[in-house]
Structure 1
Amino acid sequence: MKPWILAGLALSALGLSACNQNPLRVKRSPCPAVAVPLHAGQLTRFDPAQSRNADAIDLTAQLVDVRGACIEGSDYLITDVSFTVAAQRRDAGPRREVYLPVFVALAQGGNVLVSKQQSGVMLVFEEGATRAEARGGGRAEVHRSAVTLPAEIQERISRERRPDEPDALIDPLSNPQVRAAVRAATFEVLVGFQLDDASLAYNLGK
């Protein structure tokens, strides 16, 4: 996968949210965010394959209802991903099965590919139907130590700030050292279609 595809859908690599009890205090979730990379969430197939005319579109598919569930173990954070592939074919013909490859990748800091698994879904267009859906899933694991911030950085981020303090309204992430540490300890689980060069170029040109 191209690094810029990973960066294209970087979900706030920081994963910080305001604490309900104190708006000047922030907390960070170690669980990876789940996202669909830019240009990898749709797939178009043509017949004939070399054509790119609208009337040659054989079927289109997109990833929808992408979800992630994080299981926090003592050593690993496990993210179980589920998704639906919704597709539409051009002609309501006979029953047809179509296999579409899908990847689940673990990225660090928005642009470093750590691991990648490829699977897929089998779509079944029943006779006379133009639409089909299939559910798929995957799993990604990251060691807890990799998402644990150094104690000094964690203290800067999570310490309580009183309104009368000089740095009360200063975002701790404005400090380059803090920002770099948080980025290195942030992971994303990315889900997308495994596209060939021609399919990726078509998506880029839309």
Structure 2
Amino acid sequence: MTGIIQRSKLAGMAFIAFGVAGCSSVKDGLDSRPNEGPCPVAASLYDASRKVQLHGSEVFSNVGYTGEITGVSSFCRYVGDDPIRMEVTLDFAFGRGPAAEGMSHDYNYFVSVTRRGQAVIEKETFPLKVTFPKGADRVTATETIEHIVIPRADSSISGSNFEVLVGFELTDAELEFNRAGKRFRVNAGQGK
């Protein structure tokens, strides 16, 4: 199956809309009838919710760029035999550690639609370029993925049969670091 996650999104840092599907929202033109059932669960995968770039051993002085998905929210709409139409908003926090080179970094994150607890139906990867202002070691961003369309065989299939999972694309070493429960935060030990 292809075309479930369409490439329309709002870039949270620059608020520029682009993509083949346009800029309209799932919330636009709502039908007054209630949903046929619950929305699919939308969440970040624990093992892929953080990204820590290390240049050498696992000490803070070797930390390059970091990223963390700090929040996932969603909205869905479906009535009758219509497909489930969703949009998912992701909140990110990014850090620039002592070993970071340059003032910007390219991150990649994924959005996948799965049959709940089973197989991935579709997965799309999205790029996100983060630029740190001069003197800043932390920035936040919000991304909205619009037009996730999940087909249903008929009205007896509810959103509870699906989930939308998000995370960073990671190297094997980054994934192992996360699975071991390790973490570095650029602002650790600093007051606000």
Q: TM-score w.r.t. structure 2 length?
A: 0.65
Q: Is the 8 A contact 1:43 1:62 kept in 2?
A: yes
Q: Please tell me whether the aligned partners of residues 102 and 120 of structure 1 are also in contact (alpha carbons under 8 angstroms).
A: yes
Q: Could you tell me whether the CA contact under 8 Å between 1:93 and 1:128 is conserved in 2?
A: no
Q: Which runs of 4+ in 1 moved over 3 A?
A: 91-95
Supply the AA of the counterpart residue of 1:42. Answer: R
Q: Within 5 A, what are the aligned runs for 1:163-174?
A: none
Alpha-carbon distance, 1:146 to partner: 6.3
Q: Give matches, 1:31-42, under 5 Å.
A: 31-42=39-50
Length, aligned pairs only = 145
Structure 1 position 89, deviation (Å):
1.3
Separation of aligned partners in 2, 1:56 and 1:144: 48
**RMSD across aligned positions (CA):** 2.8
- Give unpaired runs (5+ residues) of structure 2: 1-35, 182-192
Per the alignment, residue 29 of structure 1 pairs with 37
Are residues 1:193 and 2:155 paired?
Answer: no
The CA deviation at 1:53 is 2.8
Q: What corresponds to 1:52 in structure 2?
A: 58
Cα distance in 2 between the residues matched to 1:32 and 1:63? 19
Q: CA contact under 8 A between 1:65 and 1:83: conserved in structure 2? A: yes
Query: Residues 51-86 of structure 1, C-alpha deviation per residue, up to 9 Å, x if partnerless?
Result: 333321112211023111112265210111111210
Contact preservation (8 Å) 2:44, 2:165: yes
Distance in 1 of aligned mates of 2:113 and 2:101 = 39
Deviation at 1:137, TM superposition (A): 2.8
**Larger radius of gyration between Structure 1 and Structure 2:** 1
Match in the other structure for 2:24: none
* Preserved CA contact (<8 Å) 1:93 1:129: no
1:132-154 alpha-carbon deviations (Å, 9 max, x no partner)? 122223243211326724xxxxx
Higher helix share: 1
**Partners of 2:154 and 2:162 in 1: how far apart?**
9
CA distance in 1, matches of 2:46, 2:121: 18
Quick one: which of 93, 96, 99 aligns to 2:103?
96
Q: 1:62 to 1:72 in 2, by over 3 A?
A: same
* Counterpart-to-counterpart distance in 1, 2:111 and 2:145: 6
Task: Name 2:153's counterpart in structure 1.
Answer: 145
Alpha carbons of 1:79 and 1:41: their partners in 2 closer, same or farther (altered >3 Å)?
same
Long gaps (5+) in structure 1: 1-27, 150-181
Give 2:179's aligned residue.
204
Q: Percent identity?
A: 25
Aligned residue runs from structure 1 range 124-135, under 5 A? 124-135=131-142
Equivalent residue for 1:108, pick from 106, 115, 138 = 115
